[in-house]
């Protein structure tokens, strides 16, 4: 019987950090290795943190902090290309009241800081540690680091690769791994601090507690994130090639003014994307290609090494679920290990069986949403402008949200609260 008493997590993104917290609470000896020196690559931006991400974080002890960190959405609105409101729905606020947790915007760096604090106390967080090799045998796994002169190899019972879409771990354990798939869509993603001082951004887009969307040659969306006046906007657009980045960077700061100008010509001059881009600091404007991974149907582990988050099910961002799924993975993996008294093989089998269908559905739905949002077909355009608002206002939406964001969230039922 192979029992895990020690575990190494590779990658200090939202998935790896959540897992480290959950495993420590279950009594395992944990070390987390992150290649960046202090700062995760995606932490300059925001994210939509949904009830199914917040409930598991509350479950492992972050209930008060998570509620302070999230800017809740009470309203959804669809605007047209001139920034005028076409449709609104109060349903987001209604879900929040029912779940006790609102869909909302959070600042990645604040979420990372919240998750890091207990790990720093535990002294299990190791930055500037890039894992380059893993070797497993009957008794354990040996990890080696890039800076091998100063960083000695580490030996543990169990390894979890939470190292993102360009995962090193996935390539080590599955020799035939296809590279991530480019969706032929790129995104400009901007963060604006002190939105209330930005008088050039119209009051419609900058409204508090509101998620705003607009469809033209792709999706434009914006919302407030966190509770100190930060505001994010993003717009996706079709492109034959992704922007150039170094081989292992997912995000890049915009250094291609020509591409930004070309992108802006896709929108009429009255579209809020122009006002947003004009006041976004160059350092706060990110540009990258959108990739996803084909779902693995041959398991997410080999022996003592398994995968979590984007390393096994990287998704496009349209459903806003990538980080939320990584958080769910972390809770499920921990509960499977606990249930099987830390026996590795049955716990990892059960983890995969529990997570496969749910994460595949999210990856597939996000891909279809991307195709739908970008389609130039005139019928789909009518559906986007008229049926989508009806759906956002419908009872069907409440039912879908209840199933996906609450019932299927992998936290024990008695812990979840819902008002009838």
Smallest distance, ligand FAD to C-beta of residue 391, A: 20
Q: Is the alpha carbon torsion for 319, 98, 88, 389 positive or negative? A: positive
Residue 275 makes contact with ligand FAD by CB under 6 A: no
Smallest distance, ligand FAD to C-beta of residue 341, A: 27
**How many whole angstroms separate alpha carbon 62 and alpha carbon 68?**
10
Closer to ligand FAD by Cβ: residue 291 or 340: 291
Closer to ligand FAD by Cβ: residue 340 or 348: 348
H or E segment to which residue 345 belongs: helix 344-374
Q: What is the DSSP string of 140-184?
A: EEEEEESSTTTS--EEESEEEE---TT-HHHHHH-SS-PPPEEEE
Q: How many other C-beta atoms lie within 10 A of the C-beta of residue 153?
A: 12
> What character string, x for contact with ligand FAD (CB under 6 A) and - otherwise, covers 46-75?
-xx---------------------------
Smallest distance, ligand FAD to C-beta of residue 63, A: 19
Closer to ligand FAD by Cβ: residue 223 or 342: 223
Smallest distance, ligand FAD to C-beta of residue 40, A: 4
Give the pair of three-digit tokens for residue 147.
């800076």
- Applying the rule CB under 6 A, the residues between 246 and 265 that interact with ligand FAD are none
Smallest CA-to-CA distance from 306 within 124, 172, 145 is with 172
Answer for which of 76, 95, 101, 189 binds ligand FAD (CB under 6 A) is 189
- Applying the rule CB under 6 A, the residues between 93 and 152 that interact with ligand FAD are 130-131
Closer to ligand FAD by Cβ: residue 60 or 131: 131
251, 260 contact by CB (below 8 A) = no
Pairing between strand 154-156 and 158-161? unpaired
Smallest distance, ligand FAD to C-beta of residue 53, A: 6
Smallest distance, ligand FAD to C-beta of residue 217, A: 17
Answer for which of 7, 13, 51, 220 binds ligand FAD (CB under 6 A) is 13
Closer to ligand FAD by Cβ: residue 270 or 408: 408
Give the pair of three-digit tokens for residue 410.
């992998």
Smallest distance, ligand FAD to C-beta of residue 418, A: 21
Tell me the backbone φ, ψ of residue 381, rounded to 5 degrees. -60, -45
Instruction: Count how many Cα atoms sit within 13 Å of the Cα of residue 282 in the half-sphere of its side chain.
Output: 4
Answer for which of 321, 332, 359, 366 binds ligand FAD (CB under 6 A) is 321
Smallest distance, ligand FAD to C-beta of residue 191, A: 12
Beta-carbon contacts of residue 121 (< 8 Å; ≥ 6 apart): none
Smallest CA-to-CA distance from 223 within 190, 185, 260, 187 is with 190
Chain contacts with ligand FAD (rule: CB under 6 A): 10-16, 33-36, 40-42, 47-48, 130-131, 162-164, 168, 187, 189, 309-310, 317, 320-324, 326
């Amino acid at each position: 019987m192979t029992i895990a008493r020690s575990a190494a997590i590779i990658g200090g993104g939202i998935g790896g950090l959540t897992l480290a917290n959950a495993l420590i609470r279950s009594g395992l000896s944990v070390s987390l290795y992150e290649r960046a020196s202090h700062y995760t690559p995606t932490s300059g931006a925001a994210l939509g943190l949904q009830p199914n991400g917040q409930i598991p974080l509350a479950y492992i002890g972050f209930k008060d902090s998570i509620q302070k960190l999230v800017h809740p959405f009470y309203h959804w609105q669809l605007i047209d290309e001139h920034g005028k409101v076409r449709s609104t729905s109060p349903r987001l606020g209604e879900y929040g009241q029912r779940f006790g947790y609102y869909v909302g915007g959070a600042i990645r760096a604040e979420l990372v800081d919240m998750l890091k604090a207990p790990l720093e106390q535990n002294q299990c967080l190791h930055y500037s540690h890039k894992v380059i090799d893993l070797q497993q045998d009957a008794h354990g796994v040996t990890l080696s680091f890039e800076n091998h002169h100063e960083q000695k190899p580490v030996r543990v019972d169990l390894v979890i690769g939470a190292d993102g879409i360009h995962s090193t771990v996935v390539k080590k354990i599955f020799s035939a791994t296809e590279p991530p798939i480019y969706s032929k869509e790129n995104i400009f993603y901007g963060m604006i601090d002190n939105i209330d001082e930005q008088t050039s951004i119209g009051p419609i887009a900058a409204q508090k507690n509101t998620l705003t969307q607009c469809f033209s040659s792709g999706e434009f969306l914006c919302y407030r994130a966190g509770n100190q006046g930060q505001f994010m906007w993003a717009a996706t657009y079709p492109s034959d090639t992704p922007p150039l980045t170094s081989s292992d960077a997912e995000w890049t700061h915009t250094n291609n003014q020509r591409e930004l100008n070309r992108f802006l010509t896709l929108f009429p001059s009255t579209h809020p994307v122009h006002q947003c881009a004009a006041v976004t600091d160059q350092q706060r404007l990110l540009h990258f290609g959108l990739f996803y991974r084909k779902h693995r149907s041959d398991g997410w582990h080999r022996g003592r090494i398994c995968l979590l988050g984007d390393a096994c099910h990287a998704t496009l961002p349209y459903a806003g679920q990538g980080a939320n799924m990584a958080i769910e993975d972390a809770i499920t993996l921990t509960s499977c290990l606990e249930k099987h008294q830390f026996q590795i093989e049955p716990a990892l089998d059960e983890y995969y069986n529990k997570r496969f269908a749910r994460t595949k559905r999210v990856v597939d739905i996000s891909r279809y949403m991307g195709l739908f949002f970008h389609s130039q077909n005139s019928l789909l355009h009518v559906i986007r402008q008229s049926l989508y608002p009806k759906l956002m206002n419908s009872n069907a939406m409440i039912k879908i949200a209840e199933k996906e964001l609450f019932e299927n969230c992998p936290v024990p039922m008695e812990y979840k609260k819902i008002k009838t």
